[in-house]
Amino acid sequence: MKIGIDIDNVIFNTAETVLDVHYEDTGERLHLSDITDYNMTQFVGKKYRYHFPELFSDKRVIERLKPLDACVETINNMFGKQGHDILFVTASPRYILPDGKKKLQELFDFDVSKKIVVAKRKSVVDIDILIDDCLDQVSRQIFYRNDPAILLNYPWNQQPIVGGSRGLLYRADNWKDIDRLMFLMTAVLKIDSQGE
Ligand SMILES: [Mg+2]
């Protein structure tokens, strides 16, 4: 099975790190719970909005990014023991640049360099399951590909999917949940493919 895994806010704690650096630079303290829409910039004070998006590629942010709990073990296990194909599917080109790629490589014992795909619309990438925190990407996976997706819960993705989720949307609170869901989903997909 080909598993597509988003990087920002799924592997790394990107939003949290960006908000920390924003606080250091400006004194404006925002919390994850304030960010109730995918476009973070609108929650920042007006005078900071122009420069805020630059923080996502700021050296300090990249340096401080930390993997979410249980993420590395779960992915190593998917790739190793469970034998899945892993693709890191990101809309952000910074993970194919040296600093970003190095940061990602530090987490895993397999070579990540041929597994990073940059795509604004992830539904064009050939994957069976998408794991993401962006409701739009997950919706496209479901509607254009008719394939399942796991949405990692955050305050910015609590809205329902427009048009319904066709039973293909799974929500997870953390990587322990993702691990359990993957186990169930791959079992169901295997049975489906045997029945065809
Ligand atoms: Mg993301």
**Domain assignments of the chain as residue spans, ordered by start:** 2-12+66-195, 14-64
Type of residue numbered 137: Q
Q: Are 11 and 89 in contact (CB under 8 A)?
A: no
pLDDT for the residue 187: 82
Rounded distance, CA 153 to CA 134, Å?
9
Distance 8 CA to ligand 1 centre (A): 4
Q: How far apart are CA 131 and CA 178, in angstroms?
A: 8
Mean pLDDT, residues 131-160 taken together? 96
Tell me the CA–centroid distance for residue 100 and ligand 1, in Å: 14
DSSP for residue 160: P
Spatial distance between the Cα atoms of 160 and 90, rounded to a whole number of angstroms = 23
The pLDDT assigned to 43 comes to 98
Instruction: Average the pLDDT over 35-62 and give the result.
Output: 96
* pLDDT at residue 189 in the model: 74
Q: What is the mean pLDDT of residues 185-192?
A: 77
Question: Is the Cα dihedral 91, 52, 24, 63 positive or negative?
Answer: positive
**Total-model pTM:** 0.94
CATH of domain 2-12+66-195: 3.40.50.1000
Q: Of the candidates 1, 34, 6, 4, which has an alpha carbon nearest to the alpha carbon of residue 19?
A: 34
CA geometry: angle 98, 102, 107, nearest 5 deg: 160
pLDDT, position 192 = 72
| Both tokens assigned to 132 | 């993401």
Determine the distance separating the centroid of ligand 1 and the alpha carbon of 126, expressed in angstroms: 18
- Under the banding of pLDDT at 50, 70 and 90, the label for residue 180 is very high
| Residues lying with their CB under 5 A of ligand 1, a single-atom ion | 6, 8-9, 133
- pLDDT for the residue 196: 53
Q: How far is the CA of 33 from the centre of ligand 1 (A)?
A: 16
Whole-angstrom distance, CA of residue 41 vs CA of residue 38: 9
pLDDT cut 90: percent of the chain above it: 85
